[in-house]
Structure 1
Amino acid sequence: MGGGGQQTEPSGRGAGVYTWEEVEKHCSKNDQWLVVNRKVYNVSQWAKRHPGGFRVIGHYAGEDATEVFSAFHPDQKFVQKFLKPLLIGELAATESSQDHNKKAAIIQDFKTLREQAEKEGHFQAKPLFFCLHLGHILLLEALAWLIVWFWGTSWTLTLLCSVLLATAQSQAGWLQHDFGHLSVFKKSRWNHLIHKLVIGHLKGASANWWNHRHFQHHAKPNIIMKDPDINMLNIFVLGGTQPVEYGTKKIKFLPYNHQHQYFFLVGPPLLIPIFFNIQLLKTMISRRDWVDLAWYVSYYLRYLSCYVPLYGWFGSLALIVFVRFLESHWFVWVTQMNHLPMEIDHERHKDWLTMQLQATCNVEQSSFNDWFSGHLNFQIEHHLFPTMPRHNYHLVAPQVRALCDKHGIPYQMKTLWQAMTDVVRSLKTSGDLWLDAYLHK
């Protein structure tokens, strides 16, 4: 049966029965249906109010969102009160629970693995871990200021202060990431509140801007036109598909065959100080997000009150730009080493496990690697279980690897050096593909 004869008013008591053919028609910007646990929801009007942003909803319009729904929402019962008014019906009994491109065995085995991880307490956070992490960030910031306040603002001491501040900023970035993924507190409300504090007051950024951007990345990693992290604004061409498309169409905004060289001048040094700062300011103002803007301003008021008496206005601004410059290098290498060398392609509608594994790889565990990357060296486990506290990734990793081996899905593990050099290698490979297509097709 199609949906045409049994559609109901969006009152939350939907009784319509739909086929996948009917559901898949509702995938436009203003007409969006989702399927979660075989229930069909019309989210067209509600999408703009979604805390994770309207785009992440749109990326699953007309699709089965059961797996991504389970991955992103730690409190399933709580979000049901938002879903209930949007219910319009369910899939017909003759329809499979997933679309025909997905493998039921993989989906079921991953569901079992998740249930086992929940049963073993891997989704329970250790408050002491996050308290100590916050403590070492505050200690670094205090030490940076005390050094130049007590011993003076010589070039050597200023450089040391900058390194300590950049380290604190990078580590605060990993901490805000924890709260943003709702992986610390049981109550989502507390995670959201502390997230605003950490990303706003400790980092000078916007929680809503981060949420809307980062959740898209997790929902559709390395998917062209859906993952904002691979939207390089025509500065780079990535993967194996995009370079050929650009080359065939004779698109040449830059000499992409040299992108592995100019990456060092454009990517690591400029992403945070220039691109991210402009983007988040533009987003907060255009969306009138005054709460996040207030947190953003509080960071700079605190920073300036500490350093203007020591460096003056110009010196303080120069110092924070340099700190952002150092932090940006750290951030770019850590975030790109897990994704950029992996498969980057258009939407293929794969199951959750397969999609995440093709877009992510891990870096070897060590105390330094864990600290340096904020445990994002376990990028595979983080993407599969985004609400899992990061100190538990290593506990579930052997089970994830066994599941991948069972289904023949590659589980890539690299050294830190190999992962970083692969970023440059992948850029060169993509640039060469572009040049070959540009010259010969």
Structure 2
Amino acid sequence: MAITEVAVYAHLSPADVEALGRELDEIRRDIEARRGARDARYIRRTITFQRILDAASRLTIAVSRGKLGWLLGTAGLATAKSIENMEIGHNVGHGQWDWLNDPEIRSNTWEWDMAGLSSQWRYSHNFRHHVYTNVLGMDEDIGFGVMRVTRDQPWRPRLLLQPLQNLLLAATFEWGIALHDLYSEQERVATPAARTAETKALIQKIARQTGKDYVLVPSLSGRRWRRTLAANLTANIARNLWAYVVIFCGHFPDGAEKFTPEALEHETKADWYLRQMLGTANFDAGPVLAFLSGNLCYQIEHHLFPDLPSNRYAEIAVRVRALCNKYNIPYTTGPLLHQYLQTLRTINKLAMPDHLLSKAPEAAPKPDRHGRNGFSAGTDVRRGRGHAALRTAAALHH
């Protein structure tokens, strides 16, 4: 069930939560004070590498005659598109590099290489999702409005098709995100004329994007246009599948909690930090996998500090994990395959009506939606981490 009293759920006193908030603020100040030339080199080299990889992959597709050349070129193009989508477009769109004052690498000027409009995504993602993370009825990224990923969402007969819908969403992820962002933007604007303008803007972006990928670039290949068209389509689908896996593994595995709107009442910045830590999940990754995922393997750190440079998340993660140990709260992570299988199990299970489901055997016992203790009698939440704190209590029940 969704959580209302977040601090009580985590077995932390108000003083504990505020102390946690101060320590997280210190991490932010430290990274902001130390970011500089090293970080600037990182993003500029990443952009240069991505563009070279994109061009080299397209050239390989164009000049090679065998299947191996096509496969290598298509794999390289899919990789270049994934890097542009997540490590560059997503993170630039969060304002992680606005401090450079580079007119090209700014959140309000970068337009990414996918169907959706960056401007519409920034409102839906940066505001609706990151401010109200996993708050029912406020964060539209909970199932993206079409998937049931928590029992707090009502069951509908159409959800019987959810496993198939999940496969379709994975393959067409950029299109789902584009429509999701448009609907969110249309809710925000005040007049029918403004809603029409947003729809027109998205249609124009889609026309440019599809024209580039499926008309202009293939036409440059002359009689081999079918080969190039197939490569572009395959690379886009591969990029969609990878982005879908990364995003879903950061938000829907076991341990990524949901919250009621009442949880926002009197929420302080420290309370917001705690909600981000409980509502998101990481997956284990080395440097290469982290880079290819846009460093979104560090989803917890990203939600705590969405506008800090992504190349700093690995070092931030060490400090955040230490704080989780100190305050005895979960740090939800695991191998990528394990996190995705948990997510897939949730999606498939929740396609069924509640009366056919068992009582969430995949979840450890925990406080109820109001934060009342579900572990043992006698817990004194005023003493917070001194007694049955959440991480310790959950471990005892596995």
- TM-score, normalising length: structure 2: 0.70
Match status 1:332 vs 2:234: no
Query: What aligned pairs does 1:23-38 form with structure 2 within 5 A after superposition?
Result: none
Q: Structure 1: which 5+ runs fail to align? A: 1-100
Q: Is the 1:117–1:396 contact (alpha carbons within 8 Å) kept by the matching residues of 2?
A: no
Q: Deviations over 1:296-352 (max 9, x none)?
A: 666556544432121677766554433321111101000100111222343222611
Over 3 Å counting, the alpha-carbon distance change for 1:218 and 1:137 in structure 2 is: same
> Do 2:92 and 2:110's aligned partners in 1 also have CA atoms closer than 8 Å?
no
- Equivalent AA in structure 2 for residue 164 of structure 1: G
Alignment check: 8 A CA contact 1:180 1:191 kept: no
After TM superposition, the structure 1 = structure 2 runs for residues 279-428 of structure 1, keeping only pairs within 5 Å, are: 286=195, 288=197, 303=213, 304-310=215-221, 319-341=231-253, 342-347=256-261, 348-349=263-264, 351-428=271-348
Q: Find 1:266's aligned residue among 168, 182, 189.
A: 168
Counterpart CA distance in 2 for 1:194 and 1:388 is: 13
Aligned length, in residue pairs: 324
Deviates more, 1:223-232 or 1:184-193: 184-193
1:148 to 54, 57, 61: 61
Equivalent in the alignment of 1:172? 84
Give the whole-Å Cα distance in 2 for the aligned partners of 1:185 and 1:140.
25
Q: Give the direction of change, closer, same or farther, for the CA distance of 1:333–1:156 in structure 2 (3 Å limit).
A: same
1:115-154 correspondence to structure 2 within 5 Å = 115-119=26-30, 121=32, 124-125=35-36, 126-152=39-65
The one-letter code of the counterpart of 1:275 is G
Instruction: Give the Cα separation in 1 of the matches to 2:107 and 2:273.
Output: 30
Residues 182 and 419 (structure 1 numbering): CA distance in 2 closer, same or farther, change over 3 Å?
same
After superposition, where does 1:177-196 map in structure 2 within 5 Å? 177-186=90-99, 190=103, 193=106, 196=109
The change in CA–CA distance for 1:330 and 1:123 in structure 2 (over 3 A counts) is farther
Instruction: Name the residue aligned to 2:378.
Output: none
Q: Report the equivalent of 1:220.
A: 132
Shift of the alpha carbon at 1:217? Answer: 1.1
**Structure 2 CA distance, aligned partners of 1:364 and 1:189?**
32
- Give 1:287 deviation, angstroms: 5.3
Supply the distance in 2 between the matched residues of 1:384 and 1:123 (Cα, whole angstroms): 18
Deviations 1:55-107 (A, max 9, x none): xxxxxxxxxxxxxxxxxxxxxxxxxxxxxxxxxxxxxxxxxxxxxx9935313
**CA offsets 1:352-395 (integer angstroms, 9 cap, x no match):** 12211221112224122212211111111110011111111122
Residues 190-215 of structure 1: CA deviation (Å, up to 9, x unaligned):
4774653341xx44541211101112
State the alpha-carbon separation in 1 of the partners of residues 300 and 30 from structure 2.
Answer: 20
Of the structure 1 ranges 119-128 and 278-287, higher mean CA displacement relative to structure 2 is found in: 278-287
Cα contact 1:122–1:395 (8 A) shared by 2: no
Report if the CA contact (8 A) 1:220-1:227 is conserved.
yes
Shift of the 116–157 alpha-carbon distance from structure 1 to 2, 3 Å rule, reads closer
Could you tell me how far 1:270 is from its partner in structure 2?
Answer: 2.4
In structure 2, the residue matched to 1:61 is none
Indicate how the Cα distance of structure 1 residues 119 and 376 shifts in structure 2: closer, same or farther if over 3 A, else same: same
The 2-side partners of 1:187 and 1:170 are apart by: 23
Mapped pair 1:162 → 2:74: yes
Tell me, yes or no, if the aligned pair for 2:115 and 2:178 is still in contact at 8 Å.
no
For 1:338, what is the secondary structure of its paired residue? helix
Aligned to 2:22: 111
Q: Distance in 2 between matches of 1:189 and 1:253?
A: 47
Q: Mind listing any 5+ residue stretches in structure 2 that lack a counterpart?
A: 1-11, 187-193, 359-398
TM superposition shift of 1:277? 4.6
CA contact (8 A) 1:370 1:377 kept: yes
Please tell me the residue identity of whatever aligns with 1:144.
S
- Contact 1:117–1:123 (8 Å) recurs in 2: no
Alpha-carbon contact 2:103-2:109 (below 8 Å) kept:
no
**How far off its partner does 1:222 sit?**
1.8
Cα distance in 2, alignment partners of residues 148 and 432 from structure 1: 44
Find the structure with the greater CA-based Rg: 1
Note the C-alpha offset of 1:437.
7.0
Amino acid at match of 2:235: V
Q: Secondary structure at the match of 1:228?
A: coil
Per-residue CA deviations over 1:237-275 (Å, capped at 9, x if unaligned) read 112322xx32xxxx312316xx4x425532311222x42
The letter for the 2-side match of 1:253 is R
CA, structure 1 residues 121+275, in 2 after alignment: closer, same or farther (shift >3 Å)? closer
Aligned-pair CA distance for 1:294: 7.0
- Percent identical: 21
Q: CA deviation at 1:116?
A: 4.3
- Once the two structures are superposed, the pairs formed by residues 93-112 of structure 1 within 5 Å of their partners are 103-112=14-23
Secondary structure at 2:109 match in 1: helix
